Amino acid sequence: MLSNEEVTADGRSERGNFPVFRRPLTQWMMRITAYADRLIDDLDRLDWTESLKQMQRNWIGRSTGARIGFSVGDETVEVFTTRPDTLFGATYMVLAPEHPLVDALTADAWPDGTDPRWTGGAATPAEAVSAYQRQASRRSELDRQTEGRDKTGVWLGVTAVNPVNGRELPVFIADYVLTGYGTGAIMAVPGEDTRDWEFSEVFDLPVVRTVQPPADFDGGAYTGAGPMINSSNEEISLDGLDKATAIATITEWLIEHGHGEATTTYKLRDWLFSRQRYWGEPFPIVYDENGLPVAVPESMLPVLLPEVDDYSPKTFDDDDADSAPEPPLSRATEWTTVELDLGDGPKKYRRETNTMPNWAGSCWYYLRYLDPSDDEQMVDPELERYWLGPREDGDVGGVDLYVGGVEHAVLHLLYARFWHKVLHDLGYVSSEEPFRRLVNQGYISAFAYTDERGFYVPAAEVVEKDGRFFFEGNPVNREYGKIGKSLKNMVTPDEMIGAYGADTFRVYEMSTGPLEQSRPWETKAVVGSQRLLQRIWRVVIDEQTGAVRATDVEPDEDTLRVLHRTIAGVRDGVTTLRFNIAIARITELTNHLTSVYGAETPVPRSVAEPLVLLVAPLAPHIAEEMWARLGHDESSAWHPFPVADERWLVDDTVEVAVQVNGKVRAQVSVPADADTAALEAAARADERIAGYLDGATVRRVVAVPGRLVNFVLG
């Protein structure tokens, strides 16, 4: 049993990639749809990436439009449309094959002269309908994709009446109308809808344009903007109006005449919350002798899982679409049958045997982290306010920074927002959102290689020669993709930690690029990070003796400048989550120290200690070891992180570029605080620049202190 969000585009399970079948069952659902508007609207108040917000918006799929009733015989069929303005262009109507009114509407016989394309070759409408329904139900999501989008359908043998102009509209069923969205029925407007146009081509249905296409338009359906045409009856005319005005006008008319109403629909479905697994929170629900559910009272909570011999869920063949799912708990009969006094005396009850999905825990664990040992309440409200509460009016609150993969976009990240809002509404939390700021880390991917037959070969055994790649002497093609067994490009953290250590592994992963970016793993490049850590070690510790090399000598000014620039750079890199920048700055400092203080010269302690502290968040193990050897009893984590001294961030003199017409022609050295006049004077004094300016008209001089001088010649 899975929720919609857990089913992939190919109709398989997100975890395990098993085939998924649809079956009607009675299950517990969460009314997430009641929160659809707030889940969309509050996205604007979150510090999340635009793409992730957009994924949630699309998944919730809010559309505003109108519900319109069409009479078909004695029945009224409601359709949903986002384009009520095109109502005059409706020329037929389509119901989903599973629409509940289909049987009631279907005519007894085809009228004389029925187009053979409309009957599906059946003798009667009822036969055509049942044959088509059977065919549609067999078509899985995957089939629909692979079979393309050729429009199919059959006529019910009846017509509906367009309320706005009395036009008779033939009523079809077709699988391009989905039963789960809107009302499961549409008014078809081939003139302004691409899918309706395609259907009208197959079934030879009339087209009435109601939006004037541009003069040079020669396509089918016109979905762009333009003035309304062909849209009037005795009471109302939309002709000449723009889309927004036309929608407002016709909607008002429909309401006035009782033909419809303005409405909003969502793609989001309610959330199926029952699973047939042992390992999950049991529902605090029992069923009485009439089979009606009763909530277990708070005094009897929590309901704990029973000890069982067999935890495994019942397994089925991959192609077994008919078996009923069977929860493992249903076999624990001594647990499922209980006698409880729920207020009206002891009675026998049967426990709910489904369990909750993993999301039940991930939806609130971050709240529990605030108050993990509290056995009275989920979280102390004061602690929640302190850590997650809103900081000013309109602030949604939530966790300061949440780092996670984008694969949770419409799963965990949507579910947790929903739960959090429910908890907020119930008064348990002051924050309106669980995660104030969200950063998606990129995937680490890797190169993979295929031989000439197209089979993947073990990436670790491929060798490069002159820019080409070989496996066992044979040339192979290089591809790029997710790390995994199927591409034979697996690299496990354990292997890397075994070969290089956990610190090197961390530093390498952080140094290859920005956190948010996906980037390739390259095992041969890991040595770079290992060399860096080894160089840092040798700066602080004598490799031969293990003694500390740092002494109380004074660093030279140059070293102080590099140190403080490094501190500023690392702070910047760490706070902006660009760890690659922090590591580059640390590398610069290390390279500087290696070249200035060779193997023999003692390194100033006042430089070595900040270096170790800067390294500590990135490579904690080696940093702690160095910190201890430097004579500290406590972890470096308790020591304040270094702060850059402004004094050493500015140079006395700076090199500025001198440009002539935007091209760099010279470098001049000037005092760091030289003003524009001094800059220009220094630039003019340069021999080369003087040569360029000689005899030329200087039209303009742009001097930016500390940066450059640009002479614009006329």
Torsion of the alpha carbons at 191, 193, 195 and 200, rounded to the nearest 10: -20
Residue in this structure with the two tokens 């809002």, named with its chain if needed: 421
| Cα 164 to the center of its chain, rounded Å | 43
Give 91 or 710: the residue with its C-beta nearer to RNA: 710
Give 161 or 701: the residue with its C-beta nearer to RNA: 701
Question: Minimum CB separation from RNA for residue 273, in Å?
Answer: 20
Q: Are 541 and 627 in contact (CB under 8 A)?
A: no
Q: What is the rounded CA–CA span in Å between residue 343 and residue 348?
A: 13
Q: Are 460 and 432 in contact (CB under 8 A)?
A: no
Helix axes 526-540, 579-596, angle to 10 degrees: 50
At residue 7, what are phi and psi to the nearest 5 degrees?
-105, 130
Give 296 or 689: the residue with its C-beta nearer to RNA: 689
Question: Minimum CB separation from RNA for residue 285, in Å?
Answer: 31
Question: Minimum CB separation from RNA for residue 461, in Å?
Answer: 13
Give 129 or 656: the residue with its C-beta nearer to RNA: 656
Give 389 or 528: the residue with its C-beta nearer to RNA: 528
Question: Minimum CB separation from RNA for residue 442, in Å?
Answer: 8
Give 430 or 530: the residue with its C-beta nearer to RNA: 530
Decide: helix, strand or coil at residue 304. coil
Question: Minimum CB separation from RNA for residue 39, in Å?
Answer: 16
Give 227 or 528: the residue with its C-beta nearer to RNA: 528
List Cβ neighbours of 186 (8 Å cut-off, separation of 6 or more).
Answer: 79, 80, 81, 93, 94, 177, 196
Give 135 or 237: the residue with its C-beta nearer to RNA: 135
Question: Minimum CB separation from RNA for residue 196, in Å?
Answer: 7
Q: Are 62 and 43 in contact (CB under 8 A)?
A: no
Question: Minimum CB separation from RNA for residue 465, in Å?
Answer: 10
Question: Minimum CB separation from RNA for residue 494, in Å?
Answer: 18
Number of Cβ atoms within 10 Å of the Cβ of 344:
7
Question: Minimum CB separation from RNA for residue 409, in Å?
Answer: 7
Give 152 or 431: the residue with its C-beta nearer to RNA: 152
List Cβ neighbours of 34 (8 Å cut-off, separation of 6 or more).
Answer: none
Give 146 or 373: the residue with its C-beta nearer to RNA: 146
The runs of H, that is alpha helices, within 448-514 are 493-500, 502-511
- What contacts 24+ positions apart, CB below 8 Å, involve 318-322? 318/18, 318/19, 319/19, 321/21, 321/23
Question: Minimum CB separation from RNA for residue 275, in Å?
Answer: 21
Residue type, 311: Y
Residue type, 556: D
Question: Minimum CB separation from RNA for residue 586, in Å?
Answer: 8
- Please report the sign of the dihedral spanned by the C-alpha atoms of residue 119, residue 123, residue 125, residue 130: negative
Question: Minimum CB separation from RNA for residue 94, in Å?
Answer: 8
Question: Minimum CB separation from RNA for residue 194, in Å?
Answer: 7
Give 296 or 709: the residue with its C-beta nearer to RNA: 709
Question: Minimum CB separation from RNA for residue 431, in Å?
Answer: 26
Query: Cis peptide before 671, with omega less than 30 degrees from 0?
Result: no
Q: What is the rounded CA–CA span in Å between residue 701 and residue 680?
A: 8
CA atoms within 13 A on the CB side of 44: 5
β partners of residue 445: 482, 520
Structure tokens at 666: 């010279």
Give 63 or 330: the residue with its C-beta nearer to RNA: 63
Give 67 or 420: the residue with its C-beta nearer to RNA: 67
Structure tokens at 487: 């591409």
Give 151 or 549: the residue with its C-beta nearer to RNA: 151
Instruction: Give me the DSSP letters along 569-620.
Output: HHHHHHHTT-HHHHHHHHHHHHHHHHHHS-SSSPEEHHHHHHHHHHHTTTSH
Q: What is the rounded CA–CA span in Å between residue 387 and residue 390?
A: 9
**What is the SS3 string spanning 331-397?**
HCHHHHEEEEECCCCEEEEEECCCECCCHHHHCCHHHHCCCCCCCCCCCCHHHHHHHHCCCCCCCCC
Q: What is the rounded CA–CA span in Å between residue 66 and residue 69?
A: 10
Give 3 or 355: the residue with its C-beta nearer to RNA: 3
Question: Minimum CB separation from RNA for residue 636, in Å?
Answer: 22
β partners of residue 667: 657
Q: Are 22 and 322 in contact (CB under 8 A)?
A: no
Question: Minimum CB separation from RNA for residue 614, in Å?
Answer: 14
Q: What is the rounded CA–CA span in Å between residue 504 and residue 449?
A: 26
Q: Are 580 and 573 in contact (CB under 8 A)?
A: yes
Give 110 or 597: the residue with its C-beta nearer to RNA: 597
